[in-house]
Structure 1
Amino acid sequence: MKVKPMPLSLASRHLLGLSAVAAAMVLAGCSPSGLSLTQHRTQGYSISQDALAQIRPGQSQQLVTMVLGSPQTTNSFGNETAYYYVQTKVEQTAFGLEIAKDRTVLAVYFDKNNKVIDKAVYGTKDGKVFQIESRRTPSFGEDRTFIESILASI
């Protein structure tokens, strides 16, 4: 006695086709670039050597802003000011964890007439590591939840 194979129903054929398409999509994602669990990117200002070469002593603050753009932060001390442009190279994992791999700071210093005095590029090796104080300043009163606050007012 021969056993005849049962013909596939329409739903079974669609399910088989969808699973084949899904398998093809999964395998297409297995390219060498798709297997990387980390991404490298730059945050902040991208310091280019061309823009850096254009900044020279005696130039105006406005020209520096035209060439480099608005600074990320400024500092004033006495009659002098400084513009700071920060570039951070970050490695981000597939799970959202960001690790700063390298940080470069371009500082442009201006005199009282808003003319460039000097420029400097600082890297990670030029910085100082310091501990951030994690203690909290005590405050008067109690930390209560919303329900405790309602019950205390009654």
Structure 2
Amino acid sequence: MPLRTVLRRLPAITAAVMVGVSLTACGTSGLSLTQNKQRGYALSEDALVQIRPGQSAALVTAVLGSPQATNNFGSESAWYYIGEKVQETAFGMELSKERTVLAVYFDRNNKVLDTERLGVKDGKSFAMDSRRTPSYGQDRSFLDSLLSTF
């Protein structure tokens, strides 16, 4: 094909390639109004099977990673791994689909005593109290504080 013919068809070929590339970018995930997301730890069954009573805290760290929260009250301690699956809409609204808390309990020697897997059904709802603790002093505004320096 002569060069002149190729140059005449170049804008049409370029437009066809651009349309093809833009249509491949519009897959099923691009047109969806919701997205499923994982927050925190994704606790796999393979990892949970490896954690058994009598194992060391170092092995738990190697398998699950460092915990999100720890509890060191008394002679026993606990590590908590929290994971949540949420569905987020295109408008920013979120709906929690599943929440899992894995508690790993240790003895004084940092050996695993027991593990416990908790979900949303195991939790309790409670109302927040809106009362304030009184403070003995003066509640000053910024302007009062500024004027009192003079």
1:76 to 67, 72, 85: 72
Q: Please identify runs of 4+ aligned residues in structure 1 that moved more than 6 A.
A: none
Compute the TM-score of the two structures, normalised by the length of structure 2. 0.72
Partner of 1:100: 96
Compute the TM-score of the two structures, normalised by the length of structure 1. 0.71
1:134 aligns with 2:130: yes
Against the structure 1 CA distance between its residues 135 and 91, is the aligned structure 2 distance closer, same or farther, given a 3 Å change threshold? farther
1:119 aligns with 2:118: no
Gaps of at least 5 residues in structure 2 are 1-11
In the TM superposition, 1:16-31 aligns within 5 A as 28=23, 31=27
Against the structure 1 CA distance between its residues 32 and 80, is the aligned structure 2 distance closer, same or farther, given a 3 Å change threshold? same
Q: Give 3-state SS (helix, strand or coil) of 2:72's partner.
A: strand
Partner of 1:91: 87
Between the two proteins, the alignment pairs up a number of residues equal to 131
1:40 to 25, 30, 36: 36
Identity of aligned residues (%): 58
Q: How far is 1:150 from its partner?
A: 8.4
Gaps of at least 5 residues in structure 1 are 1-16
Partner of 1:7: none
Give me the whole-angstrom Cα distance separating, in 1, the residues matched to 2:81 and 2:57: 14
Against the structure 1 CA distance between its residues 31 and 151, is the aligned structure 2 distance closer, same or farther, given a 3 Å change threshold? same
Q: Give 3-state SS (helix, strand or coil) of 1:103's partner.
A: strand
Against the structure 1 CA distance between its residues 44 and 149, is the aligned structure 2 distance closer, same or farther, given a 3 Å change threshold? same
Q: Give 3-state SS (helix, strand or coil) of 1:77's partner.
A: coil
Q: How far is 1:91 from its partner?
A: 1.5
1:8-47: CA deviations, max 9, x gaps?
xxxxxxxxx9xx99xx59x837654333222111100110
Give me the whole-angstrom Cα distance separating, in 2, the residues matched to 1:91 and 1:64: 30
